[in-house]
Amino acid sequence: MKTLCVLTIGQSPREDMHETFKKYIPHVNIVERGILDSYKPDEIETLVSSQPGQTLVSRLRDGTKVRLEKKFVDQELGKLVAACQDDHIDAILVACTGKFELFTSTKPILYPDYIVSQIVKGLFREKEIGVVVPLSEQRTEILDKWNEAEIDCMLDSCTPYQVEWTEFQKVAERMDEWPIQAIILDCMGYDDKMKQYMSRYTEKPILPSRNLVFAAVAEMF
């Protein structure tokens, strides 16, 4: 059995992803590590980001969301990647759709940002898409990310952590009126339940990034 190391920018284990593991890669051994695993709650409080455009969002072990400065995430992910080099693993997955510079590694590293953008580009070439992100403050960096991939998009936001279902309804209803071909849930926190709920309020196809990534990972193993 091959082993995939899943690196989260919050804390592991990511219990919210376990059903997805079972759905797409039940034949793969999963090792989980998080950049905040060794941090205590009061230490995490000091790390919370309030800088617009420089923020990533993830999940703590107790299910609450955490906002972190991108620079800190880059540094800590680099440390986790380095720590994986001597482990008996076959590949590393960065469980975040944010854009990262390539880390140095002797193990293959899978970057959801690139996987998702290329699949979406193949499916909806030269067509505008709708993109849902956790925070409205991420607008500038998310637009830049998709523009770099040469994909036109319109943005809206609602968090996949500490879910408020009425917000998902509002986003789906707004996007249903937009001139877009599909809705991309651009965070690894969005799951099938959120997709199914939004589908009640729009006929546009909804693609959770998590599903696209793990479907691709399954083909590697």
Statement: residue 17 has pLDDT above 90: yes
- Residue-wise DSSP of 30-45: EEEEETTTT--HHHHH
For the chain, the structural domain boundaries read 3-111+213-220, 114-208
Q: Band of the pLDDT at 50, cuts 50, 70, 90?
A: low
Statement: residue 18 has pLDDT above 60: yes
Rounded to whole angstroms, how far apart are CA atoms 214 and 25? Answer: 7
Q: What is the pLDDT of residues 76-112, one digit of tens each?
A: 999 999 999 989 999 999 999 999 989 999 999 999 9
Same fold, 3-111+213-220 and 114-208: yes
C-alpha dist (Å) from residue 192 to 11, 25, 207: 21, 16, 9
Q: Band of the pLDDT at 3, cuts 50, 70, 90?
A: very high
Biggest distance spanned by C-alpha atoms of the chain: 51
Of the candidates 161, 129, 159, the one whose C-alpha atom is nearest the C-alpha of residue 145 is 129
The dihedrals phi and psi of 139, each to the nearest 5 degrees, come to -55, -50
Q: Which fold has domain 114-208?
A: Rossmann fold (3.40.50)
Decide if domain 3-111+213-220 falls under CATH 3.40.50.
yes
Statement: residue 53 has pLDDT above 70: no
Q: What is the pLDDT of residues 146-196, one digit of tens each?
A: 999 999 999 999 999 989 999 999 999 999 999 999 999 999 999 999 999
